Structure formats: structure tokens, C-alpha cells
Amino acid sequence: MRKGAKLPRPAKSLGKTTKSRLKVGDKVVVIAGNSKGKTGVIKSLDLVKSRVLVDGINVKVKHKKAGKDERTGLTYESSPVAISNVAYYDDVKKKATRIGYKVNAASSNVAEKKQRFLKASERVIQSNYVRAQKKST
């Protein structure tokens, strides 16, 4: 290799995941970028790439070619946004807020012990996400 040659960049975060307090189904607001100020619901999270797919945010135009049974024309699809550019949207205060965790020692149910709450209003977030049950054999 000659002197001063650039080495190839390694692939981004091989298997490493980022932590996120956001969940699928949360209502978020975009805090940076072209869609700043728009709100939407999270459809999917990619914690390896640190991206989040929000319904109606970062909409791109796709051009379709003619196929056997497909129609030609333009389709509009949402593209992923960096997870650092979105924040949880508080419906009561109508603005972005941070999320924290509270541990409820009085609860006997494991899922209810650790609860997410809004730091600005101290309101507990009711999660609409249901964890899949393990099959018993």
C-alpha cells in the first residue's frame, strides 16, 4: 500500500445496537431536518442503523416501471429518519419531551414494574405494545 493511501471504512456498527426509549406505536415529533415540526407514529425501529420509520415523515417519490400486473406512475413512501432527530410528542403540552423510567416496587407484575414516564409532566406512558408470549411445551 502506498504512503498516504486511505483505508476502506469499516461497515457501520456490526451487530452493535443503540439504546432507545422510543417504542413502535409512539407518537413522535421531528426536531431536526426537512420535516422539522411534523408529527407521526413510529412504524418500525432499526437500532443497528439508529433509524426510525415514522408514518408520513420524510416522504420520497418512487417511480414505478410497467410490469406484468403492475401499474406505472409515482408512489410515495416514507423513508427512515435518524433516531436522534425525533422526540416523543406530549399530547397534553403539545411539544416534544424526554422519557424516563420509574420502578414501581408495589406491582407484582414484571411488565408493570418498570414504567416509562414523561419528564416534563411526570405522566406515565401507557404502552400499547404487547410482548409476545413464549410457547409452553
Residue 105, domain member (yes or no): no
pLDDT at 41: 94
> 44-75 burial by CB neighbour count: b if 16+ within 10 A, else e?
ebeeeebbbbbeebbeeeeeeeeeeeeeeeee
Residue 22, domain member (yes or no): no
Collapsed DSSP state (helix, strand, coil) of residue 44: strand
Domain that holds residue 44: 27-94
Residue 72, domain member (yes or no): yes
Residue 109, domain member (yes or no): no
How many domains, the chain? Answer: 1
Band (126; pLDDT cuts 50, 70, 90):
confident
Residue 80, domain member (yes or no): yes
Residue 21, domain member (yes or no): no
Per-residue pLDDT tens for 104-118? Answer: 777 677 666 788 899
CATH of the domain at 84: 2.30.30.30
Q: Is 92 exposed, middle or buried (0-12, 13-18, 19+ CB in 10 A)?
A: exposed
Model confidence, pTM: 0.72
The single-letter code of the amino acid at 22 is L
Residue 5, domain member (yes or no): no
pLDDT at 134: 57
Residue 126, domain member (yes or no): no
